[in-house]
Amino acid sequence: MTAPKRTFGDIAANSAVTLDTGSQPHPAGPGSQRRHIHRTWLMIVTAVLATVAGIAVTAAPAQAAYPRTFFGAYDNYTKAEGTFVWYNRSVQVGGGVWGAPAQGECAAVVFTAYDQHDRQVARAARPGDNVYQCGGDRYGYGFTLDASNVVGGIRKIEINLYTWIRNSGLVFLADVKVYHRPS
């Protein structure tokens, strides 16, 4: 005599939700082991997808961006421009300096950083000390004014743009700008 056929509802009502990977017949009857494993894997896949979607939606909040200041120092034919990124203590500097091709003027820029007591804590010259950018090409730079060991860090930066007129040998301070740490 054969066992009466069961419906899916009968099987679901009488079966425990466990993963049975053994070779013994499942208590709910023949064929139900395959459905049970299929159902378990479906629940696992659904849980993984929900978790991944939850991570994508609830990703860690972005850190607040460090303040940026755009800077510029200008003469008639020479200039220095760029951006300061004010970190906790140090400042990243990126930009460029240009000379003037037709006028024979060359340019250099010096960045001097000061702490809260107006003491000099860092200095950098671009293209370099006593080195000038001539012609119309841009000399690009990117560096950090380091004040990682200074309490309170860099509070202000002074920019000095120097112009050298090649045919006369004259060097002069063309522009001075001061930028303070944003509050």
For 60-82, how does the pLDDT look when each residue is reduced to its tens digit (9 = 90+)?
555 668 999 999 999 988 999 99
Residue 151 lies in a domain: yes
Rounded to the nearest 5 degrees, what angle is found at the Cα of 60, between the Cα atoms of 54 and 65? 145
- pLDDT for residue 26 is more than 60: no
* Alpha-carbon 114 to chain mean position: 26
3-state secondary structure of 46: helix
Q: Report how many domains make up the chain.
A: 2
Both 37 and 76 in one domain: the answer is: no
Residue 99 lies in a domain: yes
Q: How far is residue 106's CA from residue 97's CA, in Å, rounded to a whole number?
A: 9
- CATH no. for residue 81? 2.60.40.1470
Q: Which of 73-82, 127-136, 150-159 has the highest mean pLDDT?
A: 150-159
Q: Sign of the C-alpha dihedral, residues 117, 123, 126, 131? A: positive
Select from 57, 78, 94 the last residue of a domain.
57
Both 52 and 72 in one domain: the answer is: no
Q: Sign of the C-alpha dihedral, residues 126, 131, 132, 134? A: negative
Range 150-166 average pLDDT = 95
Burial 57-84 (b: 16+ CB within 10 A, else e): eeeeeeeeeeeeeebebebebbbbebeb
3-state secondary structure of 118: coil
Q: How many percent of the chain have pLDDT more than 70?
A: 66
Strand partners of residue 84:
69, 93
Both 45 and 112 in one domain: the answer is: no
Q: What is the pLDDT of residue 109?
A: 96
